[in-house]
Structure 1
Amino acid sequence: MPDRILVFYGSYRSDRAGIRLADYAVRALNERGVDAELIDAMQVDLPMLDRMYKEYPKGEAPAAMETLASKIREADGFVFVTGEYNWGMQPGLKNLTDHFLEEWFWRPAGIVSYSAGRLGGAHANMAWHGTLAEMGMVVVSSTVAVGQISRTLDENGAPVGDAGDSFARAFDRFAEDLAWWTEAGKRQREHRAPPF
């Protein structure tokens, strides 16, 4: 059975350059034989966090939250595609993520960041690292930071020029790292129940 990977994207802006990176990630993972699905926070459209999924009585969570909780529980791993706002996280993606907790446990997560500038969302990338680990995920050591995203990927998410070639090589290594940890996590969960 192929690995099931959810690719999360969180921009709510009207001009969303990062969606091309999220689409690339899904496509590239699917080409590797992974069952990858894009989870777009703007399309899921959860409210600002008031009650976490686990705080609803069974069967009473909003339908979108219930559906997403099921997808997260069934996933083997995650990719978080994040832009950077003032050295920080995108609020839409953080809000979506915070609605869940135990659903994330014991699976690997990878971070792919981007920006219009040259640093490629490195500050948000680092901020997500600690947050995802706190939420029970194993964050893989490989990350991808895409600077000047409009010069790296075209409108269809295809790599462009030398920057695009460099990005594609980096993403391939990232995907290999994520695949290794995904396999390790699946085997460990089959071998031994999580400690809590």
Structure 2
Amino acid sequence: MANRILVFYGSYRSDRNGIRLADYAVRTLQSRGVEAELIDAKQIDLPMLDRMYKEYPTGEAPEAMETLAGKIREADGFVFVTGEYNWGMQPGLKNLTDYFLEEWFWRPAGIVSYSAGRLGGARAGLLWHGTLAEMGMVVISSSVAVGQITKTLDADGHPSGEAGLSLEKSFARFADDLTWWTEAARQQRQRTPPPF
């Protein structure tokens, strides 16, 4: 059975360089036999959070929210591709994740960050680590931080130069880590129900 991984991306900007990294993540995971799917917050376009998914009566949540809730529940794990805005999180991605809670529980998540600068969005990645753990996910220890994203990935999301080679190496370790935790969590969920 192939692992089902949702890759979340949250930039709403018109010039979205991070989509290169999100596409790279999906394509690379798929090449490893993973059923990976991109979840683009801008395309889903939920409004600023008013009511969480669970706060709607059954069958009354907006269609896009209902569909995404089902995908999250069916997924084996998650990847969050995040840019860094002024040492912080992308608001579009944070807004999207906050619509859900129990749907995330008992699955692993990995963080892939990026920026135009040399720190590669590491500060945003650090913030996401605590947030995802609070939302019931097991955050894997491996992460990927891509600095100078336009020099690391070309416009089609293919690695270029020395930075691209470094990304391929770090992403391979990241994917191995995510796969291990994804399979461990799936086996444990089959063995015994989650404690809550």
Q: CA deviation at 1:61?
A: 0.1
Figure out how many residues of one structure are paired with residues of the other and give that number: 196
- Kindly state the Cα deviation for residue 60 of structure 1 after the two structures are TM-superposed: 0.1
By how many angstroms is 1:37 displaced?
0.1
Measure the CA separation in 2 of the matches of 1:137 and 1:122.
19
What CA distance in whole angstroms lies between the structure 2 residues aligned with 1:158 and 1:192? 41
- Matched AA of 2:52: M
Tell me which residue corresponds to 1:188: 188
Q: Could you tell me which amino acid in structure 2 is paired with residue 104 of structure 1?
A: W
Give deviations 1:6-26, integer Å, cap 9, x for gaps.
Answer: 000000000000000000000
- Report the TM-score, using the length of structure 1 for normalisation: 1.00
Shift of residue 168, structure 1, vs aligned partner: 0.5
Partners of 2:99 and 2:32 lie apart in 1 by 30
| 1:33 positional shift | 0.1
Q: Give the letter aligned to residue 55 of structure 1.
A: E
The one-letter code of the counterpart of 1:4 is R
Q: Which amino acid aligns with 2:14?
A: S
Could you tell me which runs of 5 or more consecutive residues in structure 2 were left unpaired when the two chains were aligned.
none
Partner residue in 2 for 1:98: 98
**Identity over aligned residues, as a percent?**
79
Give unmatched runs, 5+ long, in structure 1. none
Q: Is 1:114–2:118 an aligned residue pair?
A: no
Q: Please tell me the residue identity of whatever aligns with 1:5.
A: I
Shift of the alpha carbon at 1:35? 0.1
In the TM superposition, residue 150 of structure 1 has moved relative to its aligned partner by 0.3
CA distance in 1, matches of 2:69, 2:189: 19
Matches within 5 A, 1:25-36: 25-36=25-36
Q: TM-score, normalised by structure 2?
A: 1.00
The residue number in structure 1 matching 2:124 is 124
Distance in 1 of aligned mates of 2:27 and 2:122: 23
Structure 1 match to 2:16: 16
User: CA RMSD of the aligned region, Å?
Assistant: 0.3
CA–CA distance in structure 1, aligned partners of residues 152 and 78 of structure 2? 23
